[in-house]
A and B are shown apart, each in its own frame.
Chain A
Amino acid sequence: GAVVSQHPSRVICKSGTSVKIECRSLDFQATTMFWYRQFPKQSLMLMATSNEGSKATYEQGVEKDKFLINHASLTLSTLTVTSAHPEDSSFYICSARDEGPDNGGNTIYFGEGSWLTVV
């Protein structure tokens, strides 16, 4: 079945540096991908919708200059956390929408998630 892969699964970075997380759809093309953030023992918060070839759509309260999203191809979206701070430490999950005719209709698949720790 369709698979969405995230990389890295775990990353530790120093405060003030930037870190990039990749989200790939492995066997389907995704014009739309979604980035979520999950705080410990809490639900998923949608950060932004990533659109291939155009600017991402950010949810209210999410700093677009801090969380840079690039969706340069139909199989890859990246989230870059710029000038990271300890409060950015979290679990980041991406998902991708398979709009193909054989997928049962707009099925969304999730990546495995990426743990970011800023020290």
Chain B
Amino acid sequence: GDSVTQMEGPVTLSEEAFLTINCTYTATGYPSLFWYVQYPGEGLQLLLKATKADDKGSNKGFEATYRKETTSFHLEKGSVQVSDSAVYFCALRRGAQKLVFGQGTRLTINP
């Protein structure tokens, strides 16, 4: 079945550091790919998405490129801030099917 694998956390960085959170997926066909962010005590918010190969999703300085050849959708940000501290979930969806989430990566940014 479909699955998503994220790099294990927690990840701790200093402010203004470069961030990469790896995400790879297994799915038949051509899924849409998503990154969601969960701030402490809150629900999930869509951070960015990409619906086809080579698409780049971007939002709030975060980027991720849909790489079909490597089945990856790595999340990157050039300069992180303390306010980026949260749990990040990679997810996929095929058509109108349910979202399949990775295990989440907890990110902590220190001032």
Contacts and interface: CB of A to CB of B under 8 A. Distances in A.
Contacts, number: 43
Contacts of B51: 105
A42 B104 CA distance: 7
Interface string B38-64: 000111111000010000000000000
A88 to B, nearest CB: 19
B101 interface: yes
A108 interface: yes
B89 interface: yes
Interface stretch (A12-20, A43-51, A65-73, A77-85): A43-51
Given A44-B89, A97-B96, A106-B96, A113 B42 contact: yes
A113 B43 contact: yes
Contacts of A32: 96
Contact of B103 (A43, A95, A105, A106): A43
B100 to A, nearest CB: 8
Interface of B: 36, 41-46, 51, 89, 93, 96, 98-99, 101-104, 106
Interface of A: 6, 32, 34, 41-44, 46, 49, 93, 95, 97, 105-113, 115
Pairs A-B, 7 closest by C-beta atoms = A113-B43, A110-B44, A112-B43, A43-B103, A110-B43, A43-B101, A44-B101
